[in-house]
Amino acid sequence: MPTAGILVIGNEILSGKVVDSNSPYLCRELRGLGVDVERVLVIPDEIDVIASEVRVMSDRYDYVLTSGGVGPTHDDLTMDGIAAAFGVKLEHSESISQRIERAQGKPANESQLKMAKIPEGSKLIDSGDLWFPLVVLENVHIFPGIPELLRKKFESVRHRLQGVPFLLKKVFVRRRESDIAGDLNDLLLEYPELVLGSYPKVGVEEFRVQLTLESRDAGYLQRALDSLLARIPPDAIHKIE
């Protein structure tokens, strides 16, 4: 299955001034598309660090998605770092410059022209009703840090990021996790390819543990669910979704 790495770029995230909501969103969406996210990393606005981490992720994963650092200010260095990662120069994109001019009805100023500098060899993908396109260099997809813009841009390229989606079953259990841990271990011995999660809940009266069973094979998932339900007493099951 396709794999992905997510690189969140920004001193504001590392300092706690801004809470990252982009990587959880991307993880959920990519999983729904059947892409396995294997790493999420938060790094500062430093060209050398960006270049190093982009290079590693690009070599390791099928898709790399970066978030942040693509605006007009001094600390927006993502394009510089990605260019350095691939050993190319930044070049002026007349297409982006013209889009800026059309969007605001006048020529771009110096700060806005900074946003028209992209790594050589990049592709531009139109992002729905957004004037600024998504920039893609090799397998690196360069997203803005503003959550609303990132989500709109992701919607424009989700069809390019396809694998076999996971199917999910949820089982809500009234027993403590320690009471069913042995059953869960035995289930994984029987179904080693099952992705099994166990999440205790505190302060919830109806159930104590939420179990998640995931597989890309519907038949395999159903057999694993049947096996789990055969191990746990019926009165210990709150509900199944």
List the structure tokens of 208. 């104590």
| pLDDT at residue 128 in the model | 63
Average pLDDT across each block of 10 residues of the chain; the chain has 241 residues. List them in order.
Answer: 96 96 97 95 97 98 96 91 97 89 85 90 81 91 94 90 91 96 97 97 93 96 98 95 96
| pLDDT at residue 107 in the model | 86
| pLDDT at residue 235 in the model | 95
- pTM of the full predicted structure? 0.85
Q: Where do we find the tokens 């960006």?
A: 50
User: CA 154, 156, 161: angle at the middle one, nearest 5?
Assistant: 65
Return the axis-axis angle of helices 147-157 and 22-33, rounded to nearest 10°: 20
Looking at CATH, the fold of the domain delimited by 167-240 is given as Alpha-Beta Plaits (3.30.70)
| pLDDT at residue 64 in the model | 98
β-partners of residue 199 are 210
82 CB contacts (<8 Å, ≥6 apart)? 50, 51, 54, 66, 119, 137, 140, 142
List the structure tokens of 37. 């996210």
| pLDDT at residue 189 in the model | 97
Long-range (24+ apart) CB contacts under 8 A made by 124-128 are 124/93, 124/95, 124/96, 125/156, 125/157, 126/156, 127/152, 127/153, 127/156, 128/152, 128/155, 128/156
The residue extents of the domains of the chain are 3-160, 167-240
187 CB contacts (<8 Å, ≥6 apart)? 194, 196, 224, 227, 228, 231
| Domain 3-160 class, CATH top level | alpha beta
